[in-house]
Amino acid sequence: MAGKTLYEKIWDAHVVRQYDDGDSLLYIDRHLVQEVSSPQAFAKLDDDGHKIRKPENHIALPDHAVPTIRKNATFADGLAARQVERLRANAINHNVEYIAPDDQRHGIVHVIGPELGFTLPGTTLVCGDSHTCTHGAFGCLAFGIGASECANVFSTQTLRQKRQKTMQVELSGPLPFGVTVKDIILSLISQIGADGGVGHALEFTGSTIPHLSMHARMTLCNMAIEAGSRVGMVAVDDTTLNFLKDRPYAPKGALWDLAVENWRTLKSDETAVYDSYALVDVSSLEPQISWGTSPEQTSGVTAHIPFPQDEPNLDRRRKLKKSLEYMGLTPGTALRDIAIDRVFIGSCTNGRLEDLRAAASVVKGKHISKNVSGMVVPGSAQTRAAAEEEGLDKIFLDAGFEWREAGCSMCVGMNDDRLSDKQRCASTSNRNFEGRQGQGGRTHLVSPQMAAAAALTGHLTDVREHI
C-alpha cells in the first residue's frame, strides 16, 4: 500500500468531518490576522453576534498599510489609516493579541509568525493573505484564505476545504556561485507556468534541501502561490527544529521533547505517491530576472527579451506583446542592458536577515549609482535590530540606500512606498503584475544580491561580476 505524503499526513490529522462531496471540515490550529483582509470577517462576527472561539489561537498585526518611516508617520491615505485603526480596535474588542507597529515583535505577518514560533510543524495555519504558503517551510499546512473563511475560522476554528492534489518539486544539486533560492523558485515558475501548480500542494524535496536554511526555505515556499499553488511545503529536519527551539510560542521543556518526537515523523513516506512531479536542476541555474508582468516571464541573466513572433501560441503571443508594452521593453534587448530607477530590498520573500546580509555583502564599501534610489526595508523589527547589531544598516546607508522600518512597503502599493508612472525597479518581492508597486510602475523580480548589484550599476546586471 502506498504511504502518505507530508501534506496528506497533516491533512488527515486535522479532519473533523468528511462530507459526501469529498470536502473535509478541517481543524485550524492558528490564524494570523492582518488589516487588509480582516475587516469584513470581524464585521460578520459582530453582525452574527458571535465571539471568537479560541482567541489565543489568533494574532493580529498591521503590515500592508503601515508607513515605513514611523517618526511623525503619515498614512498613505484615509483607507490605510482606517484599516490599521480598525484592526487594533477589532483585536482588542475580541481579545486577540494585537502587535502594534511600534512593538519589538512587529513585522510582516509571514516573517513574524516563524520568528515568534507561532508557526509550528504539523499544524494548520491560515491567514487572509495568499503568501501564507511561506509557513509551509516548517512542515506545516499553511494556506491563504478569503475574508468569509476568516470569519469561519474566528467563530468555529474550522474550515471546509477540498483536498488538493500533490506535486513533488525535486531540487537537485548545489546552488552555484551567485545563485540563490529566489532564482530556484523563479526558474521553477518560468518552467511550469504561473498556473503550473493550480490545484496542487507543492512539496519541495531533493538533494538541495538539506543545505537550505529556514530563511531560504521560506523564500522558496513564499512563491508557491506564484506558481498557482496555495501550499508549498518542506519536511521537518534538524534545521527546522534548531530554528524553532526557544522561540516565544514554541513548546518548552518536556512538551518540546514530545513535540519533536512527533515532528520528526513529518516527512513524506518512501512509498508515498505524488500526483505530479517537476524537477529543477539547481546546479545548472544562473541568476534569474523577471522581465514581464507575470512571474513566469522570467529568464536567466544572460538572456534577451524574447520576440513575440517566436511564440507560436496566439494567446500567449498577445499576452507577451502586452507585457512588453507595459514594461516598455524592446524584443532582443539584453536583460543586462536594462536601466533601472529604483531598487527595493525587502518583503516577506526576501526581507529576512540572511537576505539583508547577502545584499550588504555586495554593496559594502561601494556606492549605488546616482541614477538609482534604493530602499532597504527589513521584514520585521527583530530583523532590523539584528541587522543593526551587525552594522548592516551602516553599510546600506553609506552605500546610499534608505534604511526603513518593517512593513510590506513597496512590495505592494498600499502605503506611501510606491513607484511612480514608468519608474523601473529591481525588486526582491514576489509579484510583478501591472501596477503592483504603484500605478504604471515596472517591476523586475530578482534576488537580494541581484538587486544590490543593479543598484551599484544603475542597470540590471549579473551579480557574479560584482562579488
Binding site partner of 26, from ligand IPM, ligand SF4, none, Cβ cut-off 5-8 A by kind? none
Q: By CB under 6 A, which span of 75-83, 141-149, 229-237, 405-413 interacts with ligand SF4?
A: 405-413
Q: Which of 131, 212, 57 is nearest to 379 (CA)?
A: 131
Query: Strands 231-233 and 424-427, how do they pair?
Result: unpaired
- Helical (H) or strand (E) element with 125: strand 124-127
| 430 binds ligand SF4 per the rule CB under 6 A | yes
Q: Is 108 in the site for ligand SF4 (CB under 6 A)?
A: yes
Stretch that binds ligand IPM, among 124-132, 160-168, 354-362, 373-381 (CB under 6 A): 124-132
Which residues, 6 or more positions from 460, have their beta carbon under 8 angstroms from its beta carbon? 289, 301, 335, 336, 337, 338, 340, 426, 444, 446, 450, 454
- Distance from chain centroid for Cα 65: 17
Contacted by 347, from ligand IPM, ligand SF4, none: CB < 5 to 8 Å by type: ligand SF4
Output the smallest distance, CB 110 to ligand IPM, in A.
9
Nearest approach, Cβ of residue 232 and ligand SF4 (Å): 14
Site for ligand IPM in 139-178 (CB under 6 A): 144
Does 383 contact ligand SF4 by CB under 6 A?
A: no
Alpha carbons 348 and 32: distance in angstroms, whole number: 14
- Dihedral sign for Cα atoms in the order 217, 222, 228, 231: positive
All three cell numbers of 429, joined, read 518581492
The verdict on 119 binding ligand SF4 (CB under 6 A) reads no
| CB closer to ligand IPM, 443 vs 457 | 443
Among 347, 382, 428, 461, binds ligand SF4 (CB under 6 A): 347
Report the site for ligand IPM in 182-221 (rule: CB under 6 A): none
Give the nearest distance from C-beta 414 to ligand SF4 in angstroms: 7
| In the complex, least distance from residue 222 CB atom to ligand SF4, rounded to whole angstroms | 7
Residue 348 assigned as binding residue: yes
CB 167 within 8 A of CB 274: yes
Strand partners of residue 279: 170
State yes or no: 408 annotated in a binding site.
yes
Grid cell for residue 360: 550588504
Name 91's Cβ contacts closer than 8 Å, sequence gap at least 6.
Answer: 33, 60, 97, 98
Give CA–CA dist 202/62, Å, rounded: 28
Residue selected from 129, 226, 341, 405 as contacting ligand SF4 according to rule CB under 6 A? 129
Is 127 a known ligand-binding residue?
A: no
Sign (positive or negative) of CA dihedral 99, 104, 108, 113:
negative
Q: Which stretch binds ligand IPM (CB under 6 A): 125-133, 169-177, 280-288, 334-342?
A: 125-133
**Residues 410, 415: Cα–Cα separation, whole Å:** 8
The footprint of ligand IPM on residues 27-46 (CB under 6 A) is 36-37
Total residues at the site for ligand SF4 (CB under 6 A)?
13
Nearer residue to ligand SF4 within complex by CB, 24 or 415:
415
Candidate list 233, 320, 345, 348; residue touching ligand SF4; CB under 6 A: 348
Residue nearest ligand IPM, CB atom distance: 130
DSSP 3-state percent helix, strand, coil across the chain (nearest 5): 40, 20, 45
Query: What 8-state DSSP symbol labels residue 226?
Result: G
Using the contact rule CB under 6 A, the part of the chain among 2-10, 38-46, 167-175, 404-412 near ligand SF4 is: 404-412
Judged by CB under 6 A, the chain residues 297 through 336 that form the site for ligand IPM are: none
- DSSP per-residue string spanning 406-440: SSSGGGSSSSS----TT-EEEE-SS---TTTTSTT
131 binds ligand IPM (CB under 6 A): yes
Cell of 439: 500605478
* C-alpha triplet 27, 30, 32: angle, nearest 5°: 135
The least distance separating ligand IPM from the CB of residue 432, rounded to whole angstroms, comes to 12
Q: Interface with ligand IPM by CB under 6 A: which residues? A: 36-37, 64, 129-131, 144, 412
Q: Interface with ligand SF4 by CB under 6 A: which residues? A: 63-64, 108, 110, 129, 131, 347-348, 408, 411-412, 429-430
Binding site for [4Fe-4S] cluster, by residue number, is 348, 408, 411
